[in-house]
């Protein structure tokens, strides 16, 4: 493999890692193995620390393909708690309000989910990397500042109810780049006349790459240690 000319790697990002953590660990393992100080490494699509699953990592000249790769359709499996909200729409922050769920049935849940299929308008979470006047929204939100983000037009290609209970649903979502599943959970809660927040998220596909194509962090580290690596020719 030639990591300077460019390779595309697929890692199953574990819970708790930031996207930068994944990039940093791959870069560190590669530079140590190759005996170089610098190597260009980047990822094609951020995953929150509380999410797991498919992350595409590009090295060397393959980083030029990042924009193309992250434009691919993405698939997620998301678990959503009903009857409570959090400021971040996930488990990063504490529950700030609770709501009744007695009126929700499986039939109602399926009917509401159907309304999200197709082109939708979505306001990104305040706790997100969106920029407002050059500042990250999450840094403002964590300081208690008001964050106003404009809605974005997105496409939900498919949405399916996998599991149902009055307090929790698990869904499969196939969507376009830029979709915040946390915000989708918020909006599903509102459409169900209750509150909702994301409790688990797994990205199962990016473009044609699935979790089955990905290496665990341990497998990635072992691959880097053992794979044949081409190094650039140097003139003596």
HEC string of 8-23 equals EEEEEECCCCCHHHHH
For 122, 126, 138, 142, 153, the CA distances from 150, given in Å and listed in that order, are 8, 11, 15, 19, 10
Residues of the chain with pLDDT > 70: what percent?
Answer: 89
Asked whether the predicted pLDDT for residue 128 surpasses 70, the reply is no
Task: Give the mean model confidence (pLDDT) for residues 7-21.
Answer: 95
Q: Over the Cα atoms of the chain, what is R_g? A: 20
Asked whether the predicted pLDDT for residue 73 surpasses 60, the reply is yes
For 20, 31, 201, the CA distances from 172, given in Å and listed in that order, are 26, 38, 10
Least confident of 71-80, 133-142, 164-173, 212-221: 133-142
* Helix 217-226 vs helix 19-34: crossing angle, to nearest 10: 20
Residues of the chain with pLDDT > 90: what percent?
Answer: 78
Residue 138 pLDDT class (50, 70, 90 cuts): low
Instruction: Classify residue 136 by burial, with Cβ atoms within 10 Å: 0-12, 13-18, 19+.
Output: middle
Looking at per-residue pLDDT, the higher value among 114 and 230 belongs to 114
The mean pLDDT value of the chain amounts to: 91
Residue 137 pLDDT class (50, 70, 90 cuts): low
**Number of neighbours of residue 193 by Cβ within 10 angstroms:** 13
Task: Give the mean model confidence (pLDDT) for residues 6-29.
Answer: 96
DSSP single-letter state for residue 215: B
Task: Give the mean model confidence (pLDDT) for residues 133-146.
Answer: 67
Task: Give the long-range contacts of residues 132-135, CB within 8 A, separation 24 or more.
Answer: none
Question: Measured between alpha carbons, how far is 91 from 88 in angstroms, rounded to an integer?
Answer: 7
Which residues have a catalytic role annotated? 48
Task: Give the mean model confidence (pLDDT) for residues 142-160.
Answer: 83
Task: Give the mean model confidence (pLDDT) for residues 144-172.
Answer: 89
Asked whether the predicted pLDDT for residue 236 surpasses 50, the reply is no
Q: Are the C-beta atoms of 83 and 159 separated by less than 8 Å?
A: no
Predicted local distance difference test score (pLDDT) of residue 113: 98
Predicted local distance difference test score (pLDDT) of residue 110: 97
Least confident of 91-95, 147-151, 188-192: 147-151
**What would the two tokens of residue 43 be?**
């990822």
Asked whether the predicted pLDDT for residue 58 surpasses 70, the reply is yes
Asked whether the predicted pLDDT for residue 164 surpasses 90, the reply is yes
Predicted local distance difference test score (pLDDT) of residue 231: 79
Task: Give the mean model confidence (pLDDT) for residues 24-48.
Answer: 93
């Amino acid at each position: 493999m030639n990591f300077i000319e460019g390779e595309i790697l697929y890692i199953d990002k574990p819970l708790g890692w930031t996207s930068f953590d994944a990039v940093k660990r791959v870069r560190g393992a590669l530079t140590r193995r190759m005996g170089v100080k610098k190597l260009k490494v980047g990822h094609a699509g951020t995953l929150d620390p509380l999410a797991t699953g498919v992350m595409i990592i590009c090295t060397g000249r393959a980083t030029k393909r990042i924009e193309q790769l992250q434009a691919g359709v993405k698939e997620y499996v998301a678990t959503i708690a009903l009857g409570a909200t959090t400021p971040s729409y996930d488990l990063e922050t504490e529950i700030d309000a609770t709501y009744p769920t007695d009126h929700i049935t499986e039939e109602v849940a399926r009917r509401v989910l159907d309304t999200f299929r197709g082109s939708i308008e979505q306001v990104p979470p305040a706790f997100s990397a969106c920029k407002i006047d050059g500042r990250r929204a999450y840094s403002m939100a964590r300081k208690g500042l008001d964050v106003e983000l404009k809605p974005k037009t997105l496409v939900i290609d498919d949405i399916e109810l996998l599991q149902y209970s009055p307090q929790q649903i698990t869904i499969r979502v196939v969507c376009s780049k830029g979709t915040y599943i946390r915000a989708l959970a918020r909006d599903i809660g509102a459409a169900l006349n209750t509150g909702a927040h994301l409790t688990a998220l797994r990205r199962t596909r990016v473009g044609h790459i699935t979790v089955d194509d990905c290496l665990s962090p341990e497998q990635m580290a072992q691959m880097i240690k053992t794979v044949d690596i081409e190094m650039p020719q140097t003139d003596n």
